[in-house]
Every structure is written in structure tokens, then in C-alpha cells.
Amino acid sequence: MTAVVSNRDKVAFCEVADHYHSNKVLFGINYLKKWALERLASCAPVPSWRAKFHKMRGVNLGKNVYVGYDVIFDRIHPEMITVGDYSEIGDRCILSAHTRGSMTTRQAYPRTMAPIKIGRGVSVNPGCIITQGVEIGDNSIIGIGSVVSRDISPNSLALGYPARVVKKLEGVGELQT
């Protein structure tokens, strides 16, 4: 079986490599390495293995971070994502530190990127999407399936599309030993 690469795929790959002022061969090799590590992380049966594979991709994970199955940390800029100690990222979450914009709408919707910072002790429940430039404060909880497109203050419960703070959490932040 041979892989079929369309002209659209060739244009998109070259355009992305050019955007990042990168040698196309080196960019391709690096991208494939990150993709393979992401695929291994997605299905690794042990949570610490998933975290290790994502760290190898460049994601900044603190200590004792739980990463669920099928989590997608930005495929081009994993190094722009930071997750604090003792945080949890639930199954099938997507964290994207960049926007692509189509080639025909580039003037109205330009390619941009900004870091994502998730604080210490944060729980991001399954199926959430976190967009570029977002900071989630320490000890916050993001409800199942929420889309976080703006900052969330510390000690908050945020839900919905777009996610908004629905409750301030009291008495959180102390690790039980």
C-alpha cells in the first residue's frame, strides 16, 4: 500500500515549514518524531508513561501530573504548554497553542500562537478544549467538555462553551499527606 499525498497536503506542509523559517527536511523529521511520540503517549497503558512521552515531545509537565488517554497537546508547539505540579488532564482533551487559519482567510484570521499555562493542582476534566494564550489559575476545576478560551482565576470551577467561572472554591490548595 502506498501513501497518497495530495497537492493540498504538499502546499500546507511547505507553507507551515516556510512560516517557521525551517528547513523542510528537518521540520518534517522533527514533526514526525513529535507525532510518533504523541501516538505512543495516546495509547500507553500507564499514566506515567503517557506523561514521559509528552515530556519527550517538549510539553512542560510538572511533577505528578496525570495525563489521560488521547490527549492532544499542540502538535507543532508542544513546548508552549506548561502544566503545573499535581494537575490532571482528562481523556481526549485538546490544548492548542496556535491557530492556523486557512490560506484564503489569512488576512482576516492570521496564524498566531501564544502559550498555555495550567497552574498547580488543576483538574481539566475529559473532553475539554483549551485555546492559545489561556492561563488557568491554581486549584481550579474545568468541567467536562468545556471550551476554555479566556483566563480562569485560581480556585474556580469553570464550565461551558465558552467556559466561565460558576463558583469560587474555598478551602482548596492544601495537599493531603
Which residue is it, cell 499555562? 117
Residues with Cβ within 8 Å of residue 123, at least 6 apart in sequence: 87, 88, 90, 140, 141, 142
Can you read off the three cell numbers belonging to residue 148?
476554555
SS3 at position 16: helix
pLDDT digits (tens, 9 = 90+) for 24-83: 788 788 888 999 999 999 989 999 999 999 999 999 999 999 999 999 999 888 999 999
Asked whether the beta carbons of 169 and 153 are under 8 A apart, the reply is no
Q: Return the ∠ at Cα 36 (arms to 30 and 37), rounded to 5°.
A: 90
* pTM across the whole model: 0.80
pLDDT digits (tens, 9 = 90+) for 126-156: 999 999 999 999 999 999 999 999 999 999 9
Full set of structural domains in the chain with CATH: 8-168 (2.160.10.10)
